[in-house]
C-alpha cells in the first residue's frame, strides 16, 4: 500500500482560546498630580441633588497699594470684590451584552473580558471628556494662556509652527509668578510631540522614581503624560497638536461611588434578559471635574452635557481676575 502523503490527509486548524487584543492607548493623566481626587466639594455635588455647585470666592487683595499716612487726612478705604465659579456633574453610561449561545459556542465568557478592562475604559472616556473641557476653556476664556503656533492648513508647517523647548519655556512664563519654574507642573503631550522634543532637547528628558517605586519619565523636571488624543485635523488640512502644562492640583475631581445591582445614576448592574437568553453589564457613573476660577455657562437643565458641548468655548468663562491665576497652559502647534 502506498504511503500517506499530504494530499491524502488534512491540516487541522488550531485555535488558541480567549486571546485578548491589548490596549494601545491609556489614561495616564487621570492618575497624575494635576488632579486632586476625592475633593470634598465635588464629592458632595455628585452625591447630592441638582446638577451644579456654585463656588463663590473673594478676589485677591494683595496687589492693593498702601498710602503714606498724612496727619488730619482720613484713611482711604478699599473693597475687595468677589466672584462666582460654577462646576457641574456629568453622567455617563455604557453597556455590553452577550448571548448564552455565543458564550457556549465560542467557549468563552465575553463579559468577563469586559469586566477585566472596564475601569481602564472608564478612565479613558473620562480623560477624553476632560480634554473636551480643556479645549472649551482654552478656546476663548483662557486664550491668554495659549501659545498659538499653528494654522488650520498646516500640512507643510514652518519651523515656527513646530514644537521646541523655547515654546515650553515661553508658555510657562505666561502665568508670571504662578509657574515660575516647571517643577510642580505636569506636561500632557502627544507621543509625536514627545518624540520631536526628544530629538531637539534629549538632555532635558530624565526618569525619576516615586516613593512607591514607580518610574516616571520627565521633561525639564515635569512628569510626562502622553496621549494620542491630543491631535485633531486642521479645518483645511494638516494636524493641530495640543500640549498642556498643568500645575499640581489644578483640577478638582469628585464622583459618586457606584452601587452594585441597584437602580442608581452611579451603578454597576448585571442585567440578565431571560426572554432573549442574554446578559448585560451596565456601567453608569456620575463625576465632576473643575478647574478653579472657571465657570460653566452651558445648558444643564435637562440632560448632562455631551463632550461636544463641553468643547464649545462659548460655554465657559473666566471668573478670576486674570488667566494667569489659573495654573493651566496650552501650546498649539502643527507638529
With a cut of 70, say whether residue 26 has pLDDT above it.
yes
Which is more confident, 12 or 40?
40
Per residue in 124-156, pLDDT (tens digit) is 999 999 999 999 999 999 999 999 999 999 899
- Can you give the pLDDT at residue 177? 79
Instruction: For residue range 240-279, list pLDDT tens digits in order.
Output: 999 999 999 999 999 999 999 999 999 999 999 999 999 9
Beta bridge partners of 15: none
Q: How far is CA 189 from the centre of its chain?
A: 11
The DSSP code sequence of 264-280 is SSSEEEEEEETTTTEEE
Q: Hey, how many other C-beta atoms are within 10 angstroms of the C-beta on 31?
A: 12
Q: Say how far apart CA 97 and CA 105 lie, in whole Å.
A: 16
Q: Calculate mean pLDDT across residues 32-36.
A: 92
Q: Where are the beta strands (DSSP E) in the chain?
A: 35-36, 52-58, 82-88, 90-99, 146-149, 185-189, 205-209, 215-219, 222-226, 231-233, 239-247, 251-255, 259-260, 267-273, 278-291, 294-296, 316-318, 328-333
pLDDT score recorded for residue 211: 66
66, pLDDT greater than 80: yes
Mean pLDDT of the chain: 92
pLDDT at 30 over 70: yes
Residue 21 reports pLDDT greater than 90: no
DSSP 167-179: HHHHHHGGGTTTT
Does the pLDDT at position 182 exceed 70?
Answer: no
Dihedral sign from CA coordinates of 184, 186, 187, 191: positive
**Residues 29, 253: contact at Cβ < 8 Å?**
no
Q: How far apart are CA 295 and CA 137, in angstroms?
A: 9
pLDDT at residue 181 greater than cutoff 70: no
| Cβ-proximal residues to 153 (8 Å cutoff; 6+ apart), any chain | 234, 235, 236, 237, 238
Q: What percent of the chain has a predicted confidence (pLDDT) above 70?
A: 95
Per-residue model confidence as pLDDT tens digits over 275-307: 999 999 999 999 999 999 999 999 887 789 999
Least confident of 18-32, 110-124, 148-162, 194-208: 18-32
> Measured between alpha carbons, how far is 298 from 304 in angstroms, rounded to an integer?
10
pTM score of the predicted model? 0.91
Amino acid at each position: 500500500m502506498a504511503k500517506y502523503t499530504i494530499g491524502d490527509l488534512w491540516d487541522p486548524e488550531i485555535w488558541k482560546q480567549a486571546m485578548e487584543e491589548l490596549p494601545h492607548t491609556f489614561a495616564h493623566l487621570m492618575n497624575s498630580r494635576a488632579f486632586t481626587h476625592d475633593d470634598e466639594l465635588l464629592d458632595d455635588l455628585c452625591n447630592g441633588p441638582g446638577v451644579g455647585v456654585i463656588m463663590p470666592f473673594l478676589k485677591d487683595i494683595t496687589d492693593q497699594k498702601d498710602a503714606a499716612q498724612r496727619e488730619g487726612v482720613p484713611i482711604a478705604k478699599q473693597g475687595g470684590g468677589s466672584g462666582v465659579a460654577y462646576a457641574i456633574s456629568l453622567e455617563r453610561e455604557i453597556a455590553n451584552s452577550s448571548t448564552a449561545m455565543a458564550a457556549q459556542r465560542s467557549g468563552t465568557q465575553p463579559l468577563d473580558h469586559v469586566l477585566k478592562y472596564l475601569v481602564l475604559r472608564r478612565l479613558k472616556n473620562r480623560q477624553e471628556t476632560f480634554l473636551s473641557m480643556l479645549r472649551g476653556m482654552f478656546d476663548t476664556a483662557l486664550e491668554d494662556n495659549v501659545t498659538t503656533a499653528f494654522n488650520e492648513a498646516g500640512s507643510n508647517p514652518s519651523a515656527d509652527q513646530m514644537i521646541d523647548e523655547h515654546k515650553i519655556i515661553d508658555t510657562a512664563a505666561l502665568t508670571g509668578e504662578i509657574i515660575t519654574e516647571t517643577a510642580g507642573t505636569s506636561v500632557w503631550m502627544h507621543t509625536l510631540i514627545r518624540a520631536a522634543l526628544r530629538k531637539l532637547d534629549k538632555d532635558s528628558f530624565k526618569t525619576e522614581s516615586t516613593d512607591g517605586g514607580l518610574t516616571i519619565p520627565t521633561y525639564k523636571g515635569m512628569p510626562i503624560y502622553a496621549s494620542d488624543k491630543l491631535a485633531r485635523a486642521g479645518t483645511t488640512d494638516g494636524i493641530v497638536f495640543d500640549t498642556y502644562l498643568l500645575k499640581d492640583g489644578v483640577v478638582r475631581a469628585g464622583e459618586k461611588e457606584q452601587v452594585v445591582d441597584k437602580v442608581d445614576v452611579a451603578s454597576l448592574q448585571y442585567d440578565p434578559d431571560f426572554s432573549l437568553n442574554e446578559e448585560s453589564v451596565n456601567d453608569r457613573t456620575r463625576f465632576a471635574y473643575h478647574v478653579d476660577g472657571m465657570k460653566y455657562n452651558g445648558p444643564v437643565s435637562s440632560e448632562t452635557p455631551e463632550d461636544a458641548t463641553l468643547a464649545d468655548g462659548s460655554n465657559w468663562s473666566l471668573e478670576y481676575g486674570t488667566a494667569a491665576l489659573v495654573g493651566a497652559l496650552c501650546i498649539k502647534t502643527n507638529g
